[in-house]
């Protein structure tokens, strides 16, 4: 399968999610989480982690970025990041419902909701920037910013001690599955071919 196929990412995400729920964090995972948390005690990194974990800052960034995409990109393409964000939100609710039914208790944050939503939105931005024309200077800046959001969202969860690394990794794989499915679907729809069968 091609690396842009969504299915391998979904299968990997399901496996990592199952492992995160059924097995306790390993010593390596604990060491990585504690190392990042300890190294990020400077005021700068604490502010970054707080900003990314706060609802206001990511929401404002999403609103501004969506407006800029609407101005600089074709109208249809500009809604792709919001579609990725919405798809990730629906997927997150479904996964949390499954966790609740399996554990019969409060659903664990597996995969990390914040990392899933941030990665899906950033992946949507990167998707439309790279497929809608030549890479101008502002497109490169937008792509760089979108790519940086993904590790920063994961780091913020580790800094705040809200998730383990495998829970964040699962979120990234789920986000990749959402983005690549959306890439295939919207690419074919926008070119008038319709959604192709298969993956």
Give the pLDDT confidence score for residue 169 in this predicted structure: 94
Read off the pLDDT of residues 20-51 as tens digits, 9 standing for 90 and up. Answer: 888 888 888 889 888 887 776 667 666 666 66
Task: For the chain, give every domain's residue range.
Answer: 29-190
Overall size of the chain counted in residues: 199
Give the pLDDT confidence score for residue 193 in this predicted structure: 42
Could you tell me if residue 51 is left (phi over 0), alpha (psi between -120 and 50 degrees) or otherwise beta?
alpha
Averaged pLDDT, 59-66: 70
Among candidates 101, 106, 115, 107, which has minimal Cα distance to 166? Answer: 115
Q: Which residue intervals of 40-164 are DSSP H helices? A: 43-53, 56-72, 75-78, 80-103, 113-131, 137-159
What is the C-alpha to C-alpha distance for residues 166 and 155, in angstroms, rounded to an integer? 12
Read off the pLDDT of residues 94-129 as tens digits, 9 standing for 90 and up. Answer: 988 887 666 655 557 888 888 898 899 999 988 888
Q: Which residue's entry shows tokens 């990392």? A: 115
What is the C-alpha to C-alpha distance for residues 10 and 177, in angstroms, rounded to an integer? 5
| Least trusted range by pLDDT, from 5-19, 23-37, 179-193 | 179-193
Give the pLDDT confidence score for residue 49 in this predicted structure: 62
Read off the pLDDT of residues 141-182 as tens digits, 9 standing for 90 and up. Answer: 878 888 888 988 888 888 878 889 999 999 999 999 999 999
Q: Which residue's entry shows tokens 């983005």? A: 179
Global confidence as pTM: 0.81
Give the pLDDT confidence score for residue 191 in this predicted structure: 46
| CA distance between the termini of the chain | 9
Give the pLDDT confidence score for residue 54 in this predicted structure: 56
């Amino acid at each position: 399968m091609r690396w842009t196929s969504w299915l391998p990412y979904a299968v990997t995400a399901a496996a990592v999610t199952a492992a995160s729920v059924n097995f306790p964090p390993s010593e390596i995972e604990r060491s990585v989480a504690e190392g990042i948390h300890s190294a990020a005690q400077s005021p700068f990194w604490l502010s970054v982690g707080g900003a990314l974990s706060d609802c206001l800052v990511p929401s404002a960034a999403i609103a501004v970025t969506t407006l800029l995409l609407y101005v600089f990109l074709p109208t249809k393409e500009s809604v792709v990041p919001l579609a990725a964000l919405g798809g990730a939100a629906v997927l997150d609710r479904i996964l949390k419902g499954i966790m609740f039914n399996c554990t019969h208790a409060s659903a664990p944050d597996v995969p990390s909701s914040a990392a899933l939503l941030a990665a899906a939105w950033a992946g949507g931005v990167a998707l439309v920037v790279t497929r809608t024309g030549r890479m101008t200077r502002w497109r490169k800046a937008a792509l760089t910013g979108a790519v940086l959001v993904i590790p920063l969202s994961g780091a913020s969860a580790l800094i705040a001690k809200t998730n383990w690394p495998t829970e964040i990794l699962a979120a990234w794989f789920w986000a990749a599955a959402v983005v690549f499915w959306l890439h295939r679907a919207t690419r074919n729809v926008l070119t008038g071919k319709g959604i192709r069968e298969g993956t």
